[in-house]
């Protein structure tokens, strides 16, 4: 924050529909700031696969420094199937940002929005309101760029679980459950692991149990990853906060996004002790890029998460009130059933959805 509650937002639109959904979201942030005791200064910076193709750099140093300096980062999507590093891996500056800025908690809420058709027929599916907290700096992703292939015979990637990494992500999950409890959620954290097979996972669970003792008001549960995949289809409404290793969280959060409608509805936040990056769960979606068909709701809800995070950090309730306004406007649009995104077989694209949400603010 620079002066009189003006927040510097580092905007990284990236590739494909990332550019489109960010363009749809910024005017809504301007709108909620009108007449409010806060304002935003948006600074757009290059990064991503197309920028890599043009310049040879996926995450320029200036962009990284701008992200470091900003009060928060709003991110579209990055990556493009045909544009890759020489070793064949995808361009994914979002992974570098997580490490560089120590964004250890990947927060992936999945809430059933009234009016959005859900894939589960069970009427209790309307009660889905859960958050996957994905450890984002270690786990199996610690092996990114370090895997080994031996003589075309064997490949190896190594899972890393540290005490520090686990303690902080578990604490984050318990505190999140406490905050949600104040809004009527049951106050349950489920540690999702494979502690019956891997020592790394047993260690993750042991630290979870240690930290649980510091949060006696929150119920601590364990669930194996395979059983969790099953129960997220059978009875997802029984979950509140789930905390898990990086790779498991990567997979589960796509599953939970599908439970509440699809990728275009799923927001996310990558948060550390000093920095926060807010982005939709989806990627650059090359199949629909440039057609105006992307659903911007996930990005708009990610912007609301950003407002909540800023509200908390700067003790500014009006920012949280603006987040609630955005969520209420999204809910009103879908509850009216007048807007049906292409994603759900309808004919409403990025501009129409953003305009409908704006008119409900």
Residues that bind ligand ATP (CB under 6 A): 17, 79, 263-264, 282-285, 287-288, 294-295, 298, 343
Residue that has been written with the tokens 């969280």 in this structure: 249
Could you tell me if 45 and 78 are in contact, meaning their C-beta atoms sit under 8 angstroms apart?
A: no
> Could you tell me the smallest distance in angstroms from the CB atom of residue 298 to ligand ATP?
6
> 161 vs 298, which CB is nearer to ligand ATP?
298
> Could you tell me the smallest distance in angstroms from the CB atom of residue 282 to ligand ATP?
3
Could you give the angle at which helices 17-33 and 317-335 cross, rounded to 10 degrees? 120
> Could you tell me the smallest distance in angstroms from the CB atom of residue 283 to ligand ATP?
2
> Could you tell me the smallest distance in angstroms from the CB atom of residue 101 to ligand ATP?
19
Q: Which residues contact 76 (CB under 8 A, 6 or more apart)?
A: 12, 13, 14, 15, 17, 18, 19, 20, 21, 22, 279, 280, 284, 299
> Could you tell me the smallest distance in angstroms from the CB atom of residue 257 to ligand ATP?
9
> 316 vs 329, which CB is nearer to ligand ATP?
329
> Could you tell me the smallest distance in angstroms from the CB atom of residue 179 to ligand ATP?
27
Structure tokens at 74: 């709003």
Q: Which residues contact 355 (CB under 8 A, 6 or more apart)?
A: none
> 80 vs 204, which CB is nearer to ligand ATP?
80
> 240 vs 343, which CB is nearer to ligand ATP?
343
> 208 vs 334, which CB is nearer to ligand ATP?
334
Q: What DSSP element (H or E) covers 203?
A: helix 199-212
Structure tokens at 58: 């996926």
> 38 vs 248, which CB is nearer to ligand ATP?
248
Query: What's the CA gap between 50 and 347, in Å, rounded?
Result: 28
> 18 vs 187, which CB is nearer to ligand ATP?
18
- The residue among 195, 219, 223 whose CA lies nearest residue 207 is 195
- Sheet architecture: strand order including 105-111: 39-44, 6-14, 72-77, 276-280, 267-271, 105-111, 129-135, 241-244, 188-193, 219-224
Q: What DSSP element (H or E) covers 99?
A: helix 93-100
Residue number with the smallest Cβ distance to ligand ATP: 283
> Could you tell me the smallest distance in angstroms from the CB atom of residue 351 to ligand ATP?
13
């Amino acid at each position: 924050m620079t002066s009189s509650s003006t927040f510097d937002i580092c905007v990284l639109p990236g590739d494909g529909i990332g550019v489109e959904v960010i363009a749809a979201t910024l005017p809504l942030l301007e709108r909620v700031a009108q007449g409010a005791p806060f304002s935003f200064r948006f600074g757009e910076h290059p990064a991503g696969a197309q920028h890599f193709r043009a310049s040879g750099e996926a995450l320029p140093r200036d962009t990284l420094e701008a992200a470091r300096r900003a009060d928060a980062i709003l991110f579209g999507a990055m990556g493009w199937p045909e544009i890759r590093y020489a070793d064949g891996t995808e361009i994914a500056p979002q992974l570098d940002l997580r490490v560089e800025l120590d964004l250890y908690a990947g927060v992936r809420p999945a809430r059933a929005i009234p009016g959005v058709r859900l894939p589960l027929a069970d009427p209790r599916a309307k009660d889905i309101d859960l958050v996957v907290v994905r450890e984002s700096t270690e786990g199996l992703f610690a092996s990114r760029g370090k895997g080994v292939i031996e003589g075309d015979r064997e490949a190896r990637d190594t899972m890393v679980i540290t005490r520090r990494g686990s303690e902080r992500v578990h604490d984050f999950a318990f505190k999140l459950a406490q905050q949600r409890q104040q809004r009527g959620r049951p106050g349950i954290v489920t540690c999702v692991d494979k502690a019956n097979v891997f020592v790394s996972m047993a260690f993750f669970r042991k630290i979870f149990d240690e930290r649980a003792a510091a949060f006696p008001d929150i119920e601590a549960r364990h669930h194996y990853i395979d059983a969790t995949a099953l129960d997220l289809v059978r009875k997802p409404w029984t979950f509140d906060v789930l905390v898990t290793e990086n790779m498991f969280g990567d997979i589960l959060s796509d599953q939970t996004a599908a439970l509440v409608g699809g990728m275009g509805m799923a927001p996310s936040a990558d948060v550390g002790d000093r920095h926060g990056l807010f982005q939709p769960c989806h990627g650059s979606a090359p199949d629909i890029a440039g057609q105006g068909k992307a659903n911007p709701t996930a990005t708009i809800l990610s912007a609301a998460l950003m407002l909540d995070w800023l509200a908390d950090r700067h003790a500014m309730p009006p920012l949280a009130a603006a987040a609630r306004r955005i969520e209420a406007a999204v809910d009103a649009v879908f509850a009216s059933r007048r807007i049906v995104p292409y994603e759900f077989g309808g004919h409403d694209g990025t501009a129409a959805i953003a305009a409908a949400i704006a008119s409900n603010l």
